[in-house]
Structure 1
């Protein structure tokens, strides 16, 4: 076994990649990040033509807390001699393919990443964590778990998954060979909308495209300024201090702040529907079915039939689908390699690790042996935690916790723009009194 690391990262997605990029600016800590894949590849199954980010490119791996880092998106543009062309393109939103190439560029150049190394099992001997690979072991004093979310498949669809019924994470590879005339997409978020827009562009005239959403309508992402205050360190710190029932209620209310459809995507879909209805004689038939909850699915030979409840009028409806795409989202699941530690973790009612403010999981081991969980804090840190928006800040928080010093300056303004708590209001009032005095 090689010498112990200060931190071993399990999984190399954007979040652990951000942590690796931030730690690259710190001399001292011995860290390695491991992934079973042979190379970095971000959501290849969802790289449909024209898809865009829903967040600013400035919310990259590092810029929010380390703007001079060589691993910023701007540094990537400069390194590839496309800075001015990127500016001149004046993108309304950055192409997701561009951001994926940026992430891959960082992954190709960071020296602490190890691809093709699958962590089979993680144990704890009372002093250090032990990571077991196929033919070797590695010990580490701390862990960072960033394996990403897993596709969520509704129970009614699980028995029929295959070439005709598949999750949206496989869309790029599967849609080109979609079978049959009727293609149905279930899911009213951004992924479902992107797939529908793609189908409206490529489906033949005799195709029938059906879009089903449980939401009351095809609803836009709330990307307005005060809603975006939910995606700030100020808000996340205050959210974490709330009692858990209040946090869960807040997350439910804020769904469209992080899980709606981009305005540009909705406009593009509507304009294409206008063309099909009024300007073209060869467009596919389109059925738009919001406010429907799929109750069951039956498969007879090559035919799949969905049974739905209409939330608008209460009726029961059926639709047929030759190909069914499940844009039903993702969920957190502890990786199998952590099974030996699962009973030592404190889990919430959703099966998620309970996290401290520094994103380390509560467990029964020594306080100085931490398991940092990335993308597991929706109910502990808020709706921004599973998204790209605060990954640079979160990585800086973890880096400071790991080193035990304030390498990154994370101090927030004493007076937040929005007074979320009674303490905020009290501080604001006290400052106002001091100014008048």
Structure 2
């Protein structure tokens, strides 16, 4: 293993993570700097070896749940060359896409759009590096800069230095008890690595041998998409879907409710008293959490109905059911499932267990722990900036995707990426302009 470099490279801005959030920021910064000074240097660090957005859930037939108009730029600048419409134009598919008469492209096509946009910034992205910690650089007792420690695939540790840091590292897979104890078992799969995980656990589909029984846990969109995909991918598989509630619930995407995803909703939520803010977010949870598109519910219900006609049961919806124990067995993983309504428990072995249980996010990512002595709190301001104390004026720390309790449900979604990115870009550049003006004034003083 090579040693850490002694003299870290310096950039004005470093972004940790290069998914849609920081990609949108890169575009916003490029646009803002196009208007004139300051010219700032930027760098992004991404642990994947190439750009990819939820690659493990690129399922056949899966469409986006938001309009293509909510792309990386259009809500901020609909004339931008980075819009989804311009992507279609460049790719020669604009007219044929319009013939589809849809606002919702396939997930595969949207990932291709994001990768196309990311290619424009390949010179400022360090792919294949995992950030291990962010440490303070201290000058005269004040926070003067951030030093970002990362490690590449070869084990080389790298240091980079910046004054402005934007963390958009995404959430961690939520694997609840009792699954967490078996997180290293290849037969336990989280939806975030579904496609490679299921191939590793079950291999290629077979036309002979025993029928594999698979358990999917979760009551949201990903869970039902995975159940549907498993049935098509493994034609002999028997698939159970365990949900904690009594029924699969449809996502509420009616117009008035959908206004919670408008940029103006962030101002309304952020400006509300804390108890009211929490009530507003809770009241709209049915737009995003543990809900399924109505069309997909209809299709799954029809599949279950057809089973009653044919007499062949491949899918089971296990309602009001929790997995209370899980243990390895020679034939797979043995789950103890409790039916809370009937008050009964059943033990069943599965060739694979899939957790479609979402993601979890700390208020402040653990990689920032070394910087905590300089934080004045864990709550980001309206412009997604964490408050710092004993810091030089030219230093700022922003978070993307970690402020749902204060900024609302859009925080972890794609809905207002360009507006949020624009706010962060303007905040950073205004700080740079002010700091550079102060330096020039000090230098000119007698």
Common fold: TM-score over 0.5: yes
Q: 2:403 aligns with which of 349, 369, 377?
A: 377
Match of 1:149 among 164, 171, 179: 171
Q: How many residues align?
A: 398
Deviation of residue 317 (structure 1)?
Answer: 4.4
TM-superposition CA deviations, 1:232-261 (whole Å, max 9, x none): 122111111223333333333322111221
- Alignment of 1:96 onto 2:113: no
Q: Is the 8 A contact 2:68 2:103 kept in 1?
A: no
- CA distance in structure 1 between the aligned counterparts of 2:219 and 2:54, rounded to whole angstroms: 19
1:251 matched to 2:281? The reply is yes
Are 1:262 and 2:293 an aligned pair? Answer: yes
Alignment partner, residue 329 of structure 2: 300
Would you say 1:362 and 2:387 are equivalent positions?
yes
Asked whether 1:62 is paired with 2:85, we answer: no
Contact 2:331 2:350 in 1 (8 A): no
User: Contact 2:266/2:407 (CA < 8 Å) preserved in 1?
Assistant: yes
Tell me which residue corresponds to 1:325. 354
Quick one: distance in 1 between partners of 2:112 and 2:333? Answer: 37
Matches of residues 271-350 of structure 1 in structure 2 within 5 Å?
Answer: 271-278=302-309, 284-333=313-362, 335=365, 337-345=367-375
Contact kept, 8 Å, 1:15 with 1:374, in 2: the verdict is yes
Are 2:428 and 1:402 equivalent residues in the alignment?
Answer: yes
Q: Residue 363 and residue 291 in structure 1: after superposition, are their counterparts in 2 closer, same or farther (change >3 A)?
A: farther
Matched, 1:21 2:9: no
Note closer, same or farther for the CA distance 1:302–1:229 as it changes in structure 2 (3 Å cut): same
CA contact (8 A) 1:20 1:112 kept: no
- Residues 32 and 112 in structure 1, CA contact (< 8 A), matched pair in contact too: yes
Task: Flag structure 1 segments of 5+ consecutive residues without an equivalent.
Answer: 348-352, 408-437
Instruction: State the distance in 2 between where 1:122 and 1:32 align.
Output: 15
C-alpha deviation, 1:332, in angstroms: 1.3
- Confirm or deny that 1:119 pairs with 2:131: yes
Aligned residue for 1:8? 14
1:85 is paired with a residue of what secondary structure? Answer: helix
* Aligned partner of 1:226 among 256, 260, 280: 256
Aligned partner of residue 298 in structure 2, secondary structure:
helix
- Compute the RMSD of aligned alpha carbons: 2.4
1:235 to 244, 265, 268: 265
Match of 1:132 in 2: 149
Cα offset, 1:378, TM superposition: 1.1
Give the direction of change, closer, same or farther, for the CA distance of 1:135–1:309 in structure 2 (3 Å limit). Answer: closer
| Corresponding position: 1:83 with 2:94 | yes
So what's the TM-score if we normalise by structure 1? 0.84
Do the aligned partners of 1:200 and 1:284 also contact (CA within 8 Å) in 2? no
Structure 2: runs of 5+ lacking an equivalent:
1-6, 34-38, 138-142, 151-155, 203-210, 434-446
Query: Paired residue for 1:430?
Result: none
**What TM-score does the superposition give when structure 2 sets the normalisation length?**
0.82
SS of residue paired to 1:51: coil
Structure 1 residue 73, shift from structure 2 partner:
0.9
SS at match of 2:27: helix
Q: Does the 8 A contact of 1:129 with 1:141 survive in 2?
A: yes
Write the distance in 1 (CA, Å) between the matches of 2:231 and 2:304: 8
Q: Which secondary structure state, in structure 2, belongs to the residue aligned with residue 77 of structure 1?
A: helix
Q: CA, structure 1 residues 292+102, in 2 after alignment: closer, same or farther (shift >3 Å)?
A: same
Residues 307-339 of structure 1, C-alpha deviation per residue, up to 9 Å, x if partnerless? 344344444444432211011110114555423
Distance 1:304 1:256 in 2: 32
Change (3 A) 1:8 1:253: same
Correspondence for 1:192 among 201, 223, 235:
223
Between stretches 52-61 and 365-374, larger displacement belongs to 365-374
Name the SS for the 2:254 alignment partner: coil
Cα pair 2:331 2:349 within 8 Å, conserved = no
Cα distance between partner residues in 1 of 2:351 and 2:376: 44
